[in-house]
Copies of this chain bind each other. A is one copy, B any other.
Amino acid sequence: MNIQILIDKGLKLKSYPKGSVIYEPGEQPRYVYFIKSGEVRMVTVSDEGKEFIQGIFKTGQYFGEPALLIDRPYLAFTIANKDSQLIAVSKEDFFELVKNDPDFSMELIRTLSKRLFYKSMMLEELASEKADHRLLTIINYLLGDINVGENLKVTRQELADMTGLRVETVIRGTKLLAENGLIKTVKGKIVKL
């Protein structure tokens, strides 16, 4: 899916400064958002205020379709992690896109499958495995996206918010994993090797 095509079609490009909220739980979905630049995080917040990161979306990706496709209010907040430019594609336009562009619809199916796969994996982890196992699993998952020698640009707090653990537990956990040689860490940063 080429974002330029959407812009050419005359769709509005909206700017969201870092920290601004794109949508909130309970809102009725009306758009699918394509990211021209920047990064957003999708988080649910529990009754007691604890955040859980459902996903992080970057330039070139889109988000917000599942709720729109099944016509249910959003479950999560979506918040700009950095200054971001988004293209809001209306429900009608999006449905048309899916109907008339088999390549896009195939791509969408793959994207949804991939997210489903990730969520299944995380569910199994949260439901059954203990802290360290959980930690090692997301760390390895995240390491998959980067090159050898690079380090994970992710804080302990973010790891906590992705695993349902608390910062202190993540800190103690990563330390332990490093001691056991299961991960390598330089100045606190986790590096791929």
Q: What is A's interface to B at a CB cutoff of 8 Å?
A: 44, 46-48, 50, 52, 54, 65-67, 69-70, 72, 75-76, 98-99, 102, 105-106, 108-110, 112-117, 119-124, 126-129, 133, 163-164
Contact = CB atoms under 8 A, between A and B. Distances in A.
Given A98-B109, A109-B108, A112-B116, A127 B52 contact: yes
A120 B119 contact: yes
Contact of A117 (B75, B163, B164): B75
Interface centre among A75, A113, A119 (most CB of B within 10 A): A113
B117 A70 contact: yes
A110 B94 CA distance: 13
Contacts of A52: 123-124, 127-128
B47 A133 contact: yes
A117 B67 contact: yes
Contact of A76 (B46, B65, B120, B128): B120
B164 A127 contact: yes
A106 B114 contact: no
A172 B128 CA distance: 20
Contact of A123 (B48, B67, B69, B119): B119
Contact of A116 (B99, B119, B121, B129): B119
A129 B128 CA distance: 15
